[in-house]
Amino acid sequence: ANCPGLVVFQIVFVMCLSGFFETGEHSMRHWLEHAGDEVGGKILDGLFKEFTGMGFLSLLLFIGIQSGVVDRTAMWLGMQEEHENPVSETFEMVHIMIFMLLVVMLIQATFILQISRGIAQHWQEYEDTRAFGLPMSSLESQFVNYGFLMREPDCNAPREMDLVLKQPFTYGSTWWERFEKRLCPVHALVKWRAFRHEFLFGRDNEGGRVPSPHLFNFNDYLKFCLGHTVLGLVQVS
C-alpha cells in the first residue's frame, strides 16, 4: 500500500513470466508435432499434469499462511504467541521445495526426452540396416570391418565374391565378456535383429506374437512402449 508502483511491477512481472511460459509450451508442442515425436508429446502432457497438481498444492500452502490458519493451528498445538512460529516457516520452506521439485522435474524431463529420442533414432537405424551389400552401413560390411567375415573373390559366385568366416560370432561365456561385447555396435545390432525376428516370427515353430509380421512395424511398437516407460519416470504422483 505504501508503494503502489512496486505492486504494479510485480503484477506485470508475473504476467510476463506466465506469457513466456505459455509461449514456450506452445512452441514445444508445435515442434514435437512437426517432428512427429509422440513420445515427447506424452512426456510434455505428463509434465504439465504434474505442474498443475503441484501448483494447487502451492496455492493451498499460500492460502494457509496468509489467512492465518497456520498461526491458529500453531496456537492450538500449544505454542505461545510471543515465540516465533516455526510452523509458518516450515510451510514456506515446503513451498520453496515444491518449486525446486518443479525445476528438477523440468530438467529431468528434458534429459529423458533427449535420451529417448536418441534411443528411438538408434532403433530406426537398426530397422533400416540392410543385411547384405557393399555399403558401410550394411550388416555384411560391419561383420567384415570387425573381423568376423572376409570377402574373397570368386568368379563363379553370383556377386563374384564369397563371404568366409574368420572368427565365430559369440555373445561371451562370462559376465565380463558379455559386458565388453555390449559396447560393440555390431553386437547390439545383431541382438536387436534377433529380438525382432523372435518377436515377429517366433522360434522352434511356435509362431510370433503378431498375426501379420510383414505388416507390423517393430520400431513403432518399441517407441510406443518406450513412451509409456518414460511417462512412468516423469510422473511422480
Question: Any alpha helices (H) in 77-217, and if so which ranges?
Answer: 86-128, 139-145, 175-182, 185-201
Overall pTM surpassing 0.85 (yes/no): no
What confidence score (pLDDT) does residue 14 get?
A: 78
Q: Which of 121, 119, 107, 134 is nearest to 234 (CA)?
A: 107
What confidence score (pLDDT) does residue 90 get?
A: 73
Q: What is the pLDDT of residues 168-192, one digit of tens each?
A: 888 888 888 888 888 888 898 998 8
Q: Residue 51: which residues within 8 A CB-CB, separation 6 or more?
A: 102, 105
Which run of H or E residues covers position 150? strand 149-153
Phi, psi of 148 (to 5 degrees): -90, -30
What confidence score (pLDDT) does residue 156 get?
A: 85
Q: How many CA atoms lie within 13 A of 43 on its CB side?
A: 29
Q: Any bridge partners for residue 140, and if so which?
A: none
What confidence score (pLDDT) does residue 210 get?
A: 83
Alpha-carbon distance values, 31 to 28, 35, 117, 179 (Å): 5, 6, 14, 38
Packed helices 38-66 and 86-128: angle between N→C axes, nearest 10 degrees = 180
Q: Over pLDDT 70: what percentage of the chain?
A: 88
Please identify every stretch of the chain with a pLDDT value under 70, giving residue numbers as ranges: 1-3, 39, 70-71, 74, 77-89, 91-92, 95, 234-237
Q: Any bridge partners for residue 64, and if so which?
A: none
Is residue 227 within 8 A of residue 42, CB to CB? The reply is yes
Which run of H or E residues covers position 161? strand 161-165
Alpha-carbon distance values, 218 to 120, 150, 225 (Å): 12, 31, 11
